[in-house]
């Protein structure tokens, strides 16, 4: 009869990770706000400075972005990657438009691309996204990312998916988009990502603020998240981010509001509530102070 030897059990931690030294792993979370593929007839814009990353691609070419006097064409073999708050401008070849204007046509299949191309329109694929602090503070510029043959094919599949599912990005499609964004960001020089990550206690509070931006956020509450006394927490936060806790919260609330104006159909009262403002009047005052526009004027401005 076969007899088994009784084994001595290993500690659970050793089964989990046999190494004694703990790893420091920077968290990476890509927050995709929207992704579209359409045909543009007008794209004449100035100062496209907003608090999210942009990725652009065009099969046909003929549209351009400009930053610091340098003009770059969107074309089939490259991705254009633009960090938050980069004040770039855009236009379409041969346009002579005196006022800012974005006009486009929704398409549902690839055959329509050639049809509208004959009328002088250009195609545009774009993604708006954030990756969080400090990486949303990347040096402002326009970055060109070459596409290899694999990603040219993958991007074509993603664009086809946007045509067939313009308003729904399912799990597999989301994986494709995340992979594309990672590919583009990995084309940047590795040392460009060597940004100082804040004190872990402050990083924990920043994450808490992001997750609870619609709630009342008091210093006395946030210092508990950081496991610090109130005054020590306030001093550490300001020395880390160069702004007070409440100034930072106000900035994040306005950034959230801008995101919702661009990527939702919520009413202004609903946006004010989602972003943690007491009422529409309070929201309007803070929003205008931060952006120069009332919420109603800003919504009108972005169309």
| Residue 53 sits in the same domain as residue 169 | yes
| Residue 238 sits in the same domain as residue 284 | yes
Residue 147 makes CB contacts below 8 A (sequence gap 6+) with: 76, 77, 78, 79, 155
Residue 264, domain extent: 200-302
Q: Is residue 2 part of a domain?
A: no
Task: For residue 112, count other CB atoms closer than 10 A to its CB.
Answer: 17
| Residue 92 sits in the same domain as residue 237 | no
Q: What is the CATH number of the domain that holds 108?
A: 2.60.120.280
Q: Which two tokens stand for residue 94?
A: 């041969």
| Residue 160 sits in the same domain as residue 82 | yes
| Residue 209 sits in the same domain as residue 189 | no
* Three-state secondary-structure class, residue 88: coil
Torsions phi, psi of 199, nearest 5? -45, 135
Residue 113's pLDDT is what?
95
Beta strands (DSSP E) in the chain are 31-44, 53-57, 63-67, 70-74, 78-82, 89-92, 101-105, 122-130, 143-146
Residue 82's pLDDT is what?
97
Q: Which of 141, 169, 193 is the last residue of a domain?
A: 193
Torsions phi, psi of 299, nearest 5? -65, -40
Residue 98's pLDDT is what?
72
Q: Is residue 23 part of a domain?
A: no
Residue 213's pLDDT is what?
93
Q: Which of 159, 177, 193 is the last residue of a domain?
A: 193
Tell me the pLDDT of the chain (303 aa) as tens digits: 555 667 778 888 877 888 888 888 878 889 999 999 999 999 999 888 889 999 999 999 999 999 999 999 999 999 999 999 999 999 998 666 678 888 999 999 999 999 999 999 999 999 999 998 889 989 999 999 999 999 999 999 999 999 999 989 999 999 999 999 999 999 999 989 888 777 889 988 998 998 999 999 999 999 999 999 999 999 999 998 889 999 999 999 999 999 899 888 899 999 999 999 988 999 999 999 988 889 999 888 776
List 130's β-bridge partners, or say none: 31
Number of structural domains the chain divides into:
2
| Residue 63 sits in the same domain as residue 35 | yes
Looking at the whole model, is its pTM more than 0.95?
no
8 Å CB contact between 61 and 114: no
Compute the half-sphere exposure of residue 149: CA atoms within 13 Å on the CB side of its CA: 0
List 74's β-bridge partners, or say none: 63
Q: Which of 152, 178, 193 is the last residue of a domain?
A: 193
Of the candidates 39, 32, 44, 83, which has an alpha carbon nearest to the alpha carbon of residue 58?
39
| Residue 206 sits in the same domain as residue 169 | no
């Amino acid at each position: 009869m076969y007899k088994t030897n009784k084994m001595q059990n290993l500690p659970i931690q050793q089964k989990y990770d046999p190494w004694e030294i703990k790893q420091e792993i920077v968290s990476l979370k890509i927050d995709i706000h929207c992704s579209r593929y359409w045909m543009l007839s007008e794209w004449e814009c100035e100062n496209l400075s907003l608090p999210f990353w942009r990725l652009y691609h065009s099969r046909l070419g003929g549209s351009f972005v400009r930053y610091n006097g340098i003009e770059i064409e969107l074309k089939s073999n490259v991705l254009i990657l633009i960090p938050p708050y980069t004040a770039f401008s855009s236009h379409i070849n041969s346009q002579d438009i005196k006022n800012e204007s974005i006009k486009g046509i929704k398409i549902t299949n690839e055959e329509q691309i050639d049809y509208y191309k004959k009328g002088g329109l250009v195609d545009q694929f774009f993604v708006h996204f954030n990756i969080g602090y400090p990486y949303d503070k990347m040096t402002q510029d326009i970055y060109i990312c070459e596409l290899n043959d694999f990603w040219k094919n993958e991007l074509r599949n993603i664009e086809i998916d946007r045509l067939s599912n313009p308003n729904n990005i399912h799990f597999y499609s989301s994986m494709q988009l995340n992979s594309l964004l990672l590919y583009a960001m990995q084309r940047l020089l590795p040392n460009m990502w060597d940004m100082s990550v804040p004190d872990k206690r402050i990083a924990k509070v920043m994450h808490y603020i992001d997750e609870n931006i619609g709630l009342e956020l008091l210093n006395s509450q946030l210092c508990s998240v950081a496991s610090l006394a109130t005054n020590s927490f306030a001093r550490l936060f300001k020395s880390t981010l160069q702004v007070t806790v409440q100034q930072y919260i106000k900035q994040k609330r306005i950034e959230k509001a801008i995101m919702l104006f661009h990527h939702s159909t919520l009413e202004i009262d609903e946006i004010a509530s989602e972003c943690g403002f007491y009422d529409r009047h309070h929201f309007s005052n803070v929003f205008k102070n931060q952006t120069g526009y009332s919420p109603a004027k800003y919504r009108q401005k972005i169309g």
